Amino acid sequence: MVDIRSVGVIGAGQMGSGIAHVVALGGYDVLLHDVSEDRIDAGLQLIQKNLSRQVVRGIIDQAAMDAAVARIKPAAELQMIGATGLAIEAATENEEVKKSIFKALTPHLGPDTILASNTSSISITRLASVSDRPERFIGLHFMNPVPLMKLVEIIRGIATGPDTYETAVNFAKSLGKTTANAEDFPAFIVNRVLVPMINEAIYTLYEGVGTVEAIDTAMKLGANHPMGPLELGDFIGLDTVLSIMNVLYEGLADSKYRPCPLLTKYVEAGWLGRKSGRGFYDYRGEKPVPTR
C-alpha cells in the first residue's frame, strides 16, 4: 500500500475546501488548486472560517487549527498536484470537466500517485479510463458539509486494484470517517436513494399536492427528517440535484428517475438554492421565504 504523506485537492469550492479542511486536520500536507487564485483564496478563507467555528464550539483547540492552516498551501498550477501521493478531484459534477482535469493532470503524476474523484454520481470506471492508471483510481465520495458528516463512500471502478482500495479505506478512516463500500452504478448508494426523494418532493410541489412549506414540514415532523427535502435540495444545489437525476435517468433508463420539469425550470432560471440566493426558498432577506 502507498504511504500517503501529501494530498492534492482540485477544486476549492464548498466540497474541495471541506476535504482540504479535514485532510489537514488529519495531519497531511495539502495542496489546494482551482482555476484561479481568487477561488483558491476564497477556499482558504472558508477553511479558516470553518476551523474557527470548530475552535469556538470546542471541537478542536487553537493549536490544532493553527497546525491545519499551516499544512494547506495554494497550488496555482494544476501540475503541482502531481507531486502528491493522493490527488482528489472535487470539481463541479460534470463528467467532461472531470475528465479534462484527469487528462491534464496525468502527465505530471508520480509513478505511485493515486487518483480519486469526489463525484457523487458519475461512473468511476469511465473517469479512470482517461488516466494512465485505472488500477490506481478510486471514488472517494465525501458528504456535505465534509467537516461534520462522518461518511465517505468508497467506489471501485472495474480496474481499481486491491492495494488502491485498502489505501483509500485506511486514508478515510485516518480522517475519523466511517466508510461504506458502493458498487460503480449511477449515483452509488446515498444519492441513489436521497436525490430521487428530493425529485419526488419537487413533483409533489409541481403537481400542487402541497406547498414548499407544507412538504418540508410534513417530512420533518412526519418522517423525522432533520431538514425538509426542498430545503435540502437548496442546500445541495439544484444544479447538482438535476445533474444527478440526469445521470440516474440516462444510466438506468428507468422513467422513475425522470427529472421533474419544475427542477429543470429552476435551474434554467439560475435559482440554484442557497449558493445563488434563491431556490425553493428566497435567502436574500433576514430569513428564508418559500418561493412557491
> Are residues 154 and 86 part of one domain?
yes
Please determine, for residue 63, whether its predicted confidence score (pLDDT) is greater than 70.
yes
> Are residues 267 and 206 part of one domain?
yes
**Section 3-25 average pLDDT:** 96
Distance of CA 53 to the CA centre of its chain: 21
The confidence band for 28, taking pLDDT boundaries of 50, 70 and 90, is: very high
**Section 118-126 average pLDDT:** 95
> Are residues 255 and 275 part of one domain?
yes
Mean of pLDDT over the chain? 96
Please determine, for residue 98, whether its predicted confidence score (pLDDT) is greater than 80.
yes
Active site residues per annotation? 120, 141, 153, 191
- Assess if residue 1 is contained within a domain: no
> Are residues 23 and 63 part of one domain?
yes
Of 182, 207, 228, the residue at which a domain comes to its end is 182
Question: Residue 199: its pLDDT value, please?
Answer: 98
The number of folded domains in the chain is 2
**Section 148-176 average pLDDT:** 97
Please determine, for residue 1, whether its predicted confidence score (pLDDT) is greater than 80.
no
Of 182, 205, 228, the residue at which a domain comes to its end is 182
Say what percent of the chain tops pLDDT 90. 98
Identify the domain containing residue 36 by its residue range: 6-182
The confidence band for 3, taking pLDDT boundaries of 50, 70 and 90, is: confident
> Are residues 167 and 45 part of one domain?
yes
Q: Which helix (H) or strand (E) holds 10?
A: strand 6-10
Contact partners, residue 101, CB within 8 Å, separation at least 6: 10, 78, 89, 91
Of 182, 209, 226, the residue at which a domain comes to its end is 182
Please determine, for residue 180, whether its predicted confidence score (pLDDT) is greater than 80.
yes
* CB distance 241 to 280 below 8 Å: no
**Section 12-24 average pLDDT:** 97
Give the model confidence (pLDDT) of 29-40 as tens digits.
999 999 999 999
> Distance between CA atoms of 101 and 18, rounded to whole angstroms?
19
Say what percent of the chain tops pLDDT 70. 99
Please determine, for residue 255, whether its predicted confidence score (pLDDT) is greater than 90.
yes
> Are residues 229 and 205 part of one domain?
yes
Q: C-alpha cell of 191? A: 444519492
**Torsion over CA of 57, 14, 187 and 115, rounded to 10 degrees?**
-100
**Section 132-152 average pLDDT:** 96
Give the model confidence (pLDDT) of 51-60 as tens digits.
999 999 999 9
- Assess if residue 80 is contained within a domain: yes
pTM: 0.90
- Assess if residue 117 is contained within a domain: yes
Give the Å distances, CA to CA, from 255 to 80, 105, 246, 250: 44, 37, 11, 10
> Distance between CA atoms of 10 and 12, rounded to whole angstroms?
7
> Are residues 242 and 169 part of one domain?
no
Give the model confidence (pLDDT) of 216-233 as tens digits.
999 999 999 999 999 999
- Assess if residue 92 is contained within a domain: yes
What residue ranges in 34-188 does DSSP mark as E strands?
Answer: 72-74, 86-89, 114-117, 137-142, 151-156, 178-182
**Section 190-207 average pLDDT:** 97
